[in-house]
């Protein structure tokens, strides 16, 4: 017997019965389609286990409490006793529920272009209960920690629900896949794992804030960057503030092992940035340097967040390693695709200027592969594309070479390895969702 939480309630039964029941709920109705649809396409889905029946207010509040920040509520955050998610005048930053349903992702409608595996699961739908209040909870944490309105405004700027929410989504998918694998799906455990997911997105956004200062960016996610709106000193401190609030949240888990795993993310982020700032390696060292930097700046966060969900669930070392390696491969593939899109997507699609890496003097995978066919790129790489015409010429040569195809091929290899690793866990909707994520990463367009 095992317990599977769906839409805020617990249903007990055998693993097979539970899997079939959830899959039937997702795919067995004629009222809506999972693929590429919003939550609203299935009447009654948003948290109500009985479509067509209005839940009592107290029951809705009880459901919401599980998704919110209920840890030591009276002691750590007394004002959390009043839900921050009602549309009140006192919390103008919080949006009404209709804006929370699926705005936590800009990638969820892009379904895999390749062959469909048995079931076409949308990870964002099966995790809707865990993600729909996600950014509200982050904003409330940040607001609760300071009496400085401007600090809260800057720190909350990128938590507007317009990001991909890839990191928290993958973290919760792995968490629930591991819980199912271990036959341990308690609310308390899922709640702790959700805080790890919160941590992953907060650290990611803090790194974006710091990147904007370092790169002097003016545009991100289709709007002016924090760097363009506030001075560098305030923006830098706001990034530090996000990290501090995230760290306090993890400290309250009271798990030394989890703290050590997640602390490695911050160590890797700093080292990766230093590698990027000072890289003038030789031709033979470039690709190894690039992959190490990519792991530290991007993949380490996903890999270690996923490993932390296994550690907090008291999984054995083998399961923790599966989680870590899955995250590592997905993270590397994600960044490889990102580097490829920098050469092929429009500014409107990406939400930021294209060819941005070349303009920053960075040689990413497409350029490094292109160097094999066009050695004239090597001196440009060494001088970081600093001479007039370097950026334009490098851009042209990348498109003339097979650099983009080779980059995509390498990303696909990492995605295939991630799928293989996911298949080592017990079959469940969440385990299948992990496989779908790999397809989403390789086929994304932004």
> What was the pLDDT predicted at 23?
52
Contact 18, 2 (CB under 8 A): yes
> What was the pLDDT predicted at 353?
59
Strand, helix or coil at 19? helix
DSSP per residue, 324-393: HHHHHHHHHHHHHHHHHHHHHS-HHHHTS-TTHHHHTT---HHHHHHHHH-TTHHHHHHTTT-STTHHHH
Q: What is the rounded average pLDDT of the residues 166-171?
A: 95
Contact 140, 198 (CB under 8 A): no
Strand, helix or coil at 5? strand
Contact 116, 53 (CB under 8 A): no
> What was the pLDDT predicted at 285?
84
- Average pLDDT of the chain to the nearest whole number: 77
Residue-wise burial string across 21-58, b where 16 or more C-beta atoms lie within 10 A, e elsewhere: ebbebbeeeeeeebeeebbeebeebbbbbeeeeeeeee
Give the pLDDT band (50/70/90) at residue 366. very high
> What was the pLDDT predicted at 167?
94
Q: What is the rounded average pLDDT of the residues 24-41?
A: 40
Q: What is the pLDDT of residues 237-250, one digit of tens each?
A: 999 999 999 999 99
> What was the pLDDT predicted at 360?
85
When comparing pLDDT for 337 and 98, which is higher? 337
> What was the pLDDT predicted at 113?
45
Give the pLDDT band (50/70/90) at residue 33. very low
Of 270, 135, 356, 239, residue with least CA distance to 230:
239
Lowest mean pLDDT among 155-169, 181-195, 428-442: 155-169
Place of tokens 């870590």: 324
When comparing pLDDT for 227 and 369, which is higher? 369
User: Between the ranges 38-42, 220-224, 433-437, where is the mean pLDDT highest?
Assistant: 433-437
**Domains (range + CATH), the chain:** 1-53 (no CATH), 55-111 (no CATH), 133-443 (1.10.600.10)
Q: How many CB atoms lie within 10 A of CB 183?
A: 11
Give the pLDDT band (50/70/90) at residue 349. low
Q: What is the pLDDT of residues 287-299, one digit of tens each?
A: 999 999 999 999 9
Strand, helix or coil at 9? strand
Checking if the pLDDT of 28 tops 90, the result is no
When comparing pLDDT for 67 and 133, which is higher? 133
Q: What is the pLDDT of residues 374-406, one digit of tens each?
A: 999 999 998 989 899 999 999 999 999 999 999
When comparing pLDDT for 248 and 73, which is higher? 248
Lowest mean pLDDT among 56-70, 157-171, 299-313: 56-70
| Range list of β-strands (E), 36-176 | none
Q: What is the pLDDT of residues 295-324, one digit of tens each?
A: 999 999 999 999 999 999 999 999 999 999
In angstroms, rounded to a whole number, what is the distance separating the alpha carbons of residues 61 and 410? 47
Strand, helix or coil at 13? strand
Q: What is the rounded average pLDDT of the residues 258-285?
A: 86
Contact 34, 214 (CB under 8 A): no
Q: Which two tokens stand for residue 257?
A: 């092992």
Q: What is the pLDDT of residues 108-151, one digit of tens each?
A: 444 444 444 445 789 999 999 999 889 999 999 999 999 999 99
Q: How many CB atoms lie within 10 A of CB 66?
A: 15
Strands 223-224 and 219-220, sheet pairing: antiparallel
Helices 15-27 and 429-443 cross at an angle (nearest 10°) of 50
Looking at the chain, how many residues does it have? 446
């Amino acid at each position: 017997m095992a317990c599977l939480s769906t839409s805020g309630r617990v249903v007990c039964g055998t693993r097979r019965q539970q899997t079939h029941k959830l899959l039937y709920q997702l795919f067995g109705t004629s009222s809506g389609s999972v693929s590429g649809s919003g939550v609203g396409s299935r009447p009654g889905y948003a948290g109500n286990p009985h479509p067509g029946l209005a839940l009592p207010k107290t029951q809705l509040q009880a459901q919401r409490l599980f998704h919110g920040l209920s840890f030591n509520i009276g002691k750590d955050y007394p004002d959390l006793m009043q839900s921050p998610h009602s549309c009140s005048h006192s919390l103008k930053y919080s949006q009404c529920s209709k804006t929370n349903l699926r705005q936590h992702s800009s990638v969820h409608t892009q379904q895999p272009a390749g062959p469909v595996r048995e079931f076409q699961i949308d990870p964002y739908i099966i995790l809707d209960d865990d993600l729909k209040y996600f950014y509200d909870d982050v904003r409330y944490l940040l607001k609760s920690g300071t009496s400085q309105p401007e600090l809260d405004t800057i720190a909350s700027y990128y938590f507007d629900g317009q990001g991909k929410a890839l990191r928290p989504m993958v973290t919760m998918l792995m968490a629930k896949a591991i819980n199912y694998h271990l036959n341990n799906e308690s609310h308390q455990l899922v709640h702790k794992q959700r805080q790890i997911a919160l941590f992953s997105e907060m650290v990611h956004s803090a790194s974006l804030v710091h990147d904007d200062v370092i790169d002097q960016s003016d545009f991100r996610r289709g709007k002016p960057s924090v760097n363009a709106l506030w001075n560098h000193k305030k923006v830098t401190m706001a990034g530090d503030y996000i990290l501090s609030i995230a760290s306090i949240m993890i400290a309250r888990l009271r798990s030394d092992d989890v703290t050590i795993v997640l602390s490695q993310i911050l160590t890797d982020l700093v080292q990766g940035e230093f590698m990027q700032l000072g890289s003038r390696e030789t031709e033979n060292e470039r690709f190894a340097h690039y992959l190490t930097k990519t792991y530290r700046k991007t993949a380490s966060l996903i890999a270690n967040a996923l490993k932390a969900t296994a550690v907090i669930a008291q999984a054995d070392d083998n399961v923790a390693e599966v989680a870590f390696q899955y995250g590592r491969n997905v993270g590397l593939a994600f960044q490889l695709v990102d580097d490829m899109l920098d050469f092929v997507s429009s500014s409107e699609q990406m939400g930021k200027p294209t060819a941005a890496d070349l303009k920053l003097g960075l040689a990413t995978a497409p350029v490094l592969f292109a160097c094999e066919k066009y050695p004239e790129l090597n001196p440009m790489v060494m001088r970081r594309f600093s001479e007039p015409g370097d950026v334009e010429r490098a851009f042209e040569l990348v498109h003339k070479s097979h650099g983009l195809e080779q980059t995509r091929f390498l990303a696909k290899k990492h995605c295939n390895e991630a799928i293989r690793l996911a298949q080592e866990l017990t079959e469940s909707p969440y385990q299948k969702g992990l496989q779908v994520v790999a397809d989403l990463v390789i086929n994304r367009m932004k």
